[in-house]
Each structure stands twice: as structure tokens, then as C-alpha cells.
Structure 1
Amino acid sequence: MAELMKHPEMMGKAQAEVRRVLKGRATIEEGDMSEFHYMKLVIKETLRLHPPVPLLLPRVCTKSCQVNGYDIPVGSRVLINAWAIARDPKYWEDPEGFKPERFDNSSVDYIGGSFEYVPFGAGRRICPGMTFGTGEMEMILSHLLYYFDWKLPNGMGPDDVDMSESTGITVGRKSPLYLIATPYMAI
């Protein structure tokens, strides 16, 4: 929600898509999720910029190798920095920018085959909750976009949204995001 509040044009586009697909229906169903193309791009871009776990679970090197000129001996524990990979200008144009369209017509996906985008890890140790987690994000965001209009409090503008993150095993917002929700439809 913070990225959408910081980028109101993208909020409007995602909200318009959800409302157009649902056409005033009272409920949102799981089958509707396949119709929310732009909303899914927003979620992918959000996970790129704000991966829930910035350092993936440690791996143990099974044979000696060299990575970017560094010798990695057998038995070494290796951490993958998903946060840094997702901001690497070698892989991403304008890596600090929030641009959901970068995933439009792109083969880069959650499933771990594109190593420049690993919000859920990759390989045999990919997050077992990936499908459930992405499904929940889609369902929750579609409800928030469909049933409510959103605005920032106390005359705040998009540039006032603080995007600072906390540090730790998981990443969250450093300060809470307060929004004013106005019902769009009677629930």
C-alpha cells in the first residue's frame, strides 16, 4: 500500500482494473485473480523492492568454487542477499524506481528460475509457502482496492510517504503507514 500511495497513478490503474473486472459484484472470488494483470505486476514489483526476507536461508557449499574472484571453500555457509540482487543495476533498469510495468511481457517470475529475482528463494529450497503467500497477497490487495478508496491523512502528499525499512530477519516498515479508508461499496 505504501508504494501505491507514493504513486497515485499506479494506485488508480490497479484500482480501476479490479473494479472493471468485478463490475459492481458484491464479492471477490479466487477465480477472479487471473483477471488482475496489472495488480499482479504491482505485487511482483513490490516483492522486488521489498523482499520479505532480504537474506535467504544459508546454503552450504558442497564443493570448492570461485564466485566473482572469491574462493569459497567446501563446507562454507553462504548467504544470498535477495535485497541487493533486486537492486542491482546490472539486472534492473532504474533499480530503485517502483515500475510494475517492468514485469509486463517478462519471463521473470517468482518460481526461482530467474536468479535476478528471488523473493522466495530458488531451487529445492524455494519457500514452500510461495503459492499460498502470493495468493493471499492478491486476495488481500484486491479487496483493499475494490472496497475502499484511500487517501493520506492530514494533507500529506505522495512525497511525504516514508519508505524507510526496519532491519532484521524479515523486512518491514520502519514507521507505520496511516491511511484513511473510505468505503467504495457496501460490504
Structure 2
Amino acid sequence: MTSRPAPSKRSSAAAPPSEPKPPLKIHSLAVISERAQITGSKPIEIGENTIIHPHAAIRSAGGSVTIGDNCTVSETAIVGNEEGDVVIGDGVNIETGAIVQAKSVGDGSVIDIKATVGKGAVIGKYCNIAPLCEVKDNEELPDYTVVYGDNQRRINTTVANNAEVRDAKDKGQMMQIELLKKLIPDAPKWRS
């Protein structure tokens, strides 16, 4: 019979340092997943009915981040800029894996799956950045611009010229948010 030393009560692995929580202002009707990552030292504001999915990252290391009302930030999406503020308008969808470092994104816009919006870019209202497309640093897109294919651009005149289409889009956004509120539990850890 061999004798083994008694197990040590000390662990050799140090606990990973936790980043301090940034100054947060979260609307009471916003839903922030427990597994969302919210880090930085600058203020972060999240608006009414906005949904932050698990594994989405909001980073305010270099500037404040403001996310408007009725927005969604999906899994593995990253919002924040190490060099300045980021302002996301109302009703914006930031889809899975998208990276948004823009100075601003206008109301009703969609940043689709794994699309990239560079530092300092200004995105107009009701723009659509298609999957895997890129908006370069400091680029400005007028309202209703669609970026598609090999980063080609066009103006979506159907949305631009028809308030009923914009209203239908906004109504669809609210329906999606109401469903997501039932599916994604809100984490009290972000409220303290």
C-alpha cells in the first residue's frame, strides 16, 4: 500500500482577474443576458426594450457606448470602439458575430451576420449591411443605404419612399423583441 500526500487545500491556479464593471445605465425594460460581456471604464447606456444576447460584448474602454430603445445585440456581436464613443439609434439589429465600432448607427438599421462597421463610421437611418460586408473606418453611409455582395452600395428606394414599409419594419422589430423577452432571462447582476 502506497501512501499519498493529503490533497492540498490551496489551488495552484490563480482566479482570473475580473474586469471592473463600467458605469451602467440600463432601462428597467431592457433585457441583458447573464452571459453578456459588458466591460470598460466609460459609461454604457442601454435603452428601453433593448435585448443583449448571451455572449454579446459591449465594450467601453475608449469611449462611451449608447444603445437606443428597441435594439437587439445578438450572440458574439461586439459593440464598442477603443478610440471614441459609439451611439446606436433606436430599433437597430446587430446580428450574430457583427463588429460595430461606428461613431453612430441610425435608427432602424441592420448590421447583419459577421458584418464589420469600422471605427468612426457614420451609418444613416434604415441602412442594411449584409452578412460579411464591411464599412470602412470613417466612411459615411446616407440613409437607406444597402451594402451587399462585394461591398457594393445602393439606396433602398422602397424603404426610403414608403412610410408604410418603415412602419411595418418597426412593428416587426417590436414583435421580435416581445418574443426575445420570453426567451432570454434578464440577469440581475447588471442592475447593481
TM-score (norm: length of structure 2): 0.26
Task: Flag the structure with more relative contact order, 1 or 2, with Cα contacts below 8 A and sequence separation at least 6.
Answer: 1
* Structure whose CA Rg is larger: 2
- TM-score, structure 1 as length reference: 0.26
Larger helix share, 1 or 2: 1
